[in-house]
Amino acid sequence: MVLKRRVNYGFTGFQVPVIPRAPRSARRRSPLKNSVEDGEACAFEILASLAGKLLQESESSACSNASEGNHHCSFSQGIIVQDRKNEVKPSITEGVHQGSCTESIFTTNVASKNNDQKPLLHAKTDCSLGHISVNNNSDNLEKAKANVKTETVESDNKYGSYTNRLVKAPENFRKSCNRKVKKGFRLEQEAGVSNYHRSTSADKCGLKDRLELYMSPALVDSKVNVKKYPLHRKPFPTDSFTKRGNGIKLDFRDDDENFIRYTKVCAKSKAFRSPRRIAHRRIKNLLSSKYWKVAPKLKDCELSRSDLEVPLYRKRKTSHGFDRSHHSNVVKRRRFFDRVSAVISDGGFSSESVSNSPEKGANGHKPSSSAKMHVTEDSHVKFSIKSFRIPELYIEVPETATVGSLKRTVMEAVMGIIGGGMHVGVLLQGEEIGDDNRTLEQTGLSCNENLDSLSFMLEPSSLLASPISCVGDPSSQCETSEPIRSPETPALDSGITDIIRDSYLLTNQGNLVENNHDSTSSPIDTIVDEITPDSRAIVALPASNEALAVVPVSQKIKRSEFVQRRTRRPFSVSEVEALVHAVEELGTGRWRDVKLRAFDNADHRTYVDLKDKWKTLVHTAKISPQQRRGEPVPQELLDRVLGAHAYWSQHQIKQHGKHQCGTGGALKMITEASVERMSSQV
């Protein structure tokens, strides 16, 4: 069974780029929308919230709420596959929007695949979570916006202009492997960490490839996107209209869709609801959950991804079936992450260096970025946290999973640790500040002498009783459960502390919830609840998981809930043209027919979308041109919109007792209506 095959990915770390003082999101949100509902989390926000919380706790005097505005930043995940031979190291974050994205990513080592077709990936690196600027007023935390975009390996090689790039393997690799790169991600577990990794197809190719994952800012502004992502935002070609019968069909080029089509299982003949749409609902649930209420200030975040679905789920029927299972977590979760799992352990933090740091220490431990602070004259303390490291995590996904789903999974795993299993520690001159009630002043965080001796760290907030993170195939022996960690410090600053952290284990939901038939988002849910036999095959847990059962509620993050909104895809003039044309003929109450007639090939346009677009078109047509935004729609089209709208709203009433809507459409009907009107006047 193909679905049984999996791809395992293990990451020791994940590095999130420094968040630039990004420009505000071009996407303005109405005040009304700026509510909790709209708050969608991103890794950054979680960190920000943590930092803010930290500050709140350690600060005695609160400051004003003066907010200088929300800087929206978005993140995307990217994957880089490269040929080790060539050692091509793309400057991953250079050229990123606004140019201030952090250094890079973490590099992993070697891809591999085991005998039973389970490609495994293990990224052994440091991770860091971007840059956070904090004032000693949590209200001033930067807010971020997550906009996760994905790209397929097949896309193109013009990645240079992408913010989030998926760098495909060099040509020689692909040729020698004679297979698609997307199937080429194989990482090999770093020696001594786990032995569930086996050799791979990559080995067969005689190549060792590197896979990198990174977090990169992504643009929110669709306009900028057009420029930044030319391959994804091609202007809709006018000549892509093809007459079919009386209607117009559009042949859309969409990377995501194309990717799906490659799989030959895309059922696009009908309008359907993409699984990713449902996902968003889950994120809302998450956001409204108790967990998120601890960070009410950070609600302006939004996730947005163009997902690459697992082909299976593209089946309309399947998709719909899942979609309707609103109350079935089981189904919902399986939708995306069936057979996907991730295991996270704190792994003692990678001994590898943060890639942005120039040198490594003697033990290969590179000095990581540090947090800095600056005390201003008005008794405010500004913190600049350059990066955070994230503990090691393992991920397993089916071989058939898309790159997009991999990215999602990684993101979820990252979010899981950051959001649920971690808390922030503060170290001053190597000493962890344990007393949360002390003020910054009392702690010495307001003295400029300590400017450079401050650091933050992420650490598991649950000190589980020596959980075993035995990752690997069932036959492999478990790793030691020794809580003792490598000498490397999990702190931001290098070599400052040697804190022994109890390991903890989190599991990504994915397959873990496969058999979980009652996992409503109850706050009582525990990680243990999500452990299923299936997951045990991958993760061996201690006989007694009681420790897990007492994990605080705040940690019970359902990473599976972490899905984002569909990417915004403004209608092009050509699309509007097609829509107007179809509506003129079919009327405003037959969106499915409109979809079929004019957008049958545009899988990303559902009939609901078309209906919505029509709604906005009507509105647009009624307002003054000065008030319109976005790509201007020719007045001619807007006139037709008004005409059709006027006609059909009138005709629908008439149609009741009268003849069925025959052929003709609005234009003809309008004429007939005029005639009728005239005759009635006579």
Partner DNA sequence: TTTAGGG
Partner DNA sequence: CCCTAAA
Residues that bind DNA (CB under 7 A): 270-272, 277-278, 280-281, 284, 316-317, 319-321, 324, 326, 565-569, 588-593, 604, 607-609, 611-612, 615-616
CB of 525 to DNA, least distance (A): 20
Pick 469 or 574: Cβ nearer DNA: 574
First to last CA, the chain: 74
Pick 284 or 407: Cβ nearer DNA: 284
Pick 76 or 588: Cβ nearer DNA: 588
**DSSP labels for 289-303?**
STGGGG-TT------
CB of 645 to DNA, least distance (A): 12
Pick 319 or 489: Cβ nearer DNA: 319
For the chain, what is the total number of helices (H) and then of strands (E)?
17, 22
CB of 655 to DNA, least distance (A): 11
Q: Which residues make beta-bridge pairs with 83?
A: 209
Pick 278 or 354: Cβ nearer DNA: 278
Q: Are 123 and 109 in contact (CB under 8 A)?
A: yes
Quote the Cα angle for 275-276-280, to 5°.
Answer: 120
φ, ψ for residue 372, nearest 5 deg = -125, 155
DSSP 8-state assignment for residue 36: G
Pick 183 or 281: Cβ nearer DNA: 281
Q: What amino acid occupies position 610? A: L
CB of 449 to DNA, least distance (A): 50
Specify the long-range contacts of residues 484-489, CB closer than 8 Å, at least 24 apart.
Answer: 485/346, 485/348, 485/349, 486/348, 486/349, 486/351, 487/363, 487/365, 488/348, 488/349, 488/350, 488/351, 488/363, 488/365, 489/349, 489/457
Kindly give, in sequence order, each residue whose CB lies less than 8 Å from that of residue 208, ignoring residues fewer than 6 positions away. Answer: 84, 85, 109, 110, 111, 188, 202
Q: Are 106 and 355 in contact (CB under 8 A)?
A: yes
CB of 569 to DNA, least distance (A): 3
Pick 159 or 272: Cβ nearer DNA: 272
**DSSP labels for 318-364?**
HHHHHHH-TT-HHHHHHHHHTT-EEEEE-TT--SSPPTTSS---TTS
CB of 166 to DNA, least distance (A): 21
Rg (CA), the chain: 27
Pick 342 or 557: Cβ nearer DNA: 557
CB of 522 to DNA, least distance (A): 17
Pick 67 or 269: Cβ nearer DNA: 269
**Distance from C-alpha of 483 to C-alpha of 467, rounded to nearest angstrom:** 8
**Distance from C-alpha of 200 to C-alpha of 211, rounded to nearest angstrom:** 14
**Distance from C-alpha of 528 to C-alpha of 544, rounded to nearest angstrom:** 10
CB of 144 to DNA, least distance (A): 19
**DSSP labels for 589-641?**
T-HHHHHHHHSTT-TT--HHHHHHHHHHHHHHHHS-GGG--SSPPPHHHHHHH
CB of 611 to DNA, least distance (A): 5
CB of 90 to DNA, least distance (A): 29
CB of 484 to DNA, least distance (A): 44
CB of 296 to DNA, least distance (A): 18
Pick 207 or 579: Cβ nearer DNA: 579
Pick 525 or 603: Cβ nearer DNA: 603
Pick 55 or 594: Cβ nearer DNA: 594
Pick 291 or 599: Cβ nearer DNA: 599
CB of 54 to DNA, least distance (A): 31
Supply 164's token pair: 């989030």
CB of 266 to DNA, least distance (A): 14
Residue of 468, 459, 452, 453 whose CA lies nearest to 490: 459
Distances in whole angstroms, Cα of residue 512 to Cα of each of 550, 572, 660: 19, 42, 53
Pick 316 or 536: Cβ nearer DNA: 316
Pick 85 or 615: Cβ nearer DNA: 615
Q: Are 552 and 526 in contact (CB under 8 A)?
A: no
Q: Are 196 and 8 in contact (CB under 8 A)?
A: yes
Q: What amino acid occupies position 76? A: S
**Distance from C-alpha of 236 to C-alpha of 572, rounded to nearest angstrom:** 6
Pick 280 or 339: Cβ nearer DNA: 280
Q: What amino acid occupies position 304? A: S
What is the four-CA torsion angle of 70, 369, 412, 115, rounded to 10 degrees?
A: 160
Distance of CA 369 to the CA centre of its chain: 25
**Distance from C-alpha of 427 to C-alpha of 434, rounded to nearest angstrom:** 9
Supply 356's token pair: 């942005």
Find tokens 């050692």 and name the residue. 87
Q: Are 310 and 266 in contact (CB under 8 A)?
A: no
Q: Are 58 and 314 in contact (CB under 8 A)?
A: no
**DSSP labels for 201-230?**
HHHHTT--EEEEEEEEE----HHHHHHH-T
CB of 596 to DNA, least distance (A): 9
CB of 321 to DNA, least distance (A): 6
